[in-house]
Amino acid sequence: MTDLEKFSYTVLTGLIVWVIKQVVEFILIQSRITDGLLEEIQANISEIKEAKLYLTKLETIVIAESPEIIYLDKFTKTEASFYKTQISVLPRYFRSANIRRINKFFHSFWELQVLIEGLMAHIQELTEKGELGNSNEQERLTKKFERVKKLIDLLTEKTIDSIGNLPENYEGRISPDRTLSSPERENADVI
């Protein structure tokens, strides 16, 4: 074997080892990011399911029983901390379809938290004003509960055990306009 052949063999071997190392490193990092995202998604889904139970009981109390004064638990938003730290590297390790699924899920989760926080604030405000039994407010609250529960159902309808199982389509959401509308507004002539 000549010196040139030895050199070529060494360079080729080094290149092959480097490529294998890069592929293994890519797979390991992608796997760890996926595991972290799925762990955070599972924790969020668990929180969503607990919130649905609480909101169902709260709706029964607020809408059906119409109490004058109720005690509300303080709702605290959850930060998607792992997602936020990994968002910049997602394009390197995931296909665009999966990035879209991940982003839509976390955006919808954030939207759900905002909706719940707003609903709780509205109930608290009505309780303080003594207007919780008002029929117009009851109708608005019913629509708000409906909107929150629909989004919860969309986020929790499938078992999420991989990024590919995340919902891609969030059709069926109830728009804010429908929540704000009243029978009088829906039947009014549009000018």
Number of domains in the chain: 1
- Indicate whether 189 belongs to any domain: no
**pLDDT 10s digit of each residue in the chain, 191 long?**
788 899 999 999 999 999 999 999 999 999 999 999 999 999 999 999 988 998 888 888 887 766 655 666 666 777 778 998 898 999 999 999 999 999 999 999 999 999 998 898 888 888 888 877 778 888 888 899 999 999 999 999 888 899 998 888 777 667 666 655 554 444 444 33
In a domain, 109, yes or no: yes
By CB atoms closer than 10 A (0-12, 13-18, 19+), residue 161 is: exposed
66 inside domain = yes
72 domain residue, yes or no: yes
Distance of alpha carbon 122 from alpha carbon 128, whole angstroms: 10
pLDDT value of position 138? 85
pLDDT value of position 190: 36
Residue 67 lies in a domain: yes
pLDDT at 191: 35
Tell me the residue range of the domain where 74 lies: 3-184
Cα distances (Å, whole numbers) of residue 21 to 1, 42, 83 = 28, 31, 26
Q: Within 87-134, where are the H helices? A: 90-93, 96-129
* pLDDT of the residue at 126: 85
Residue 191 lies in a domain: no
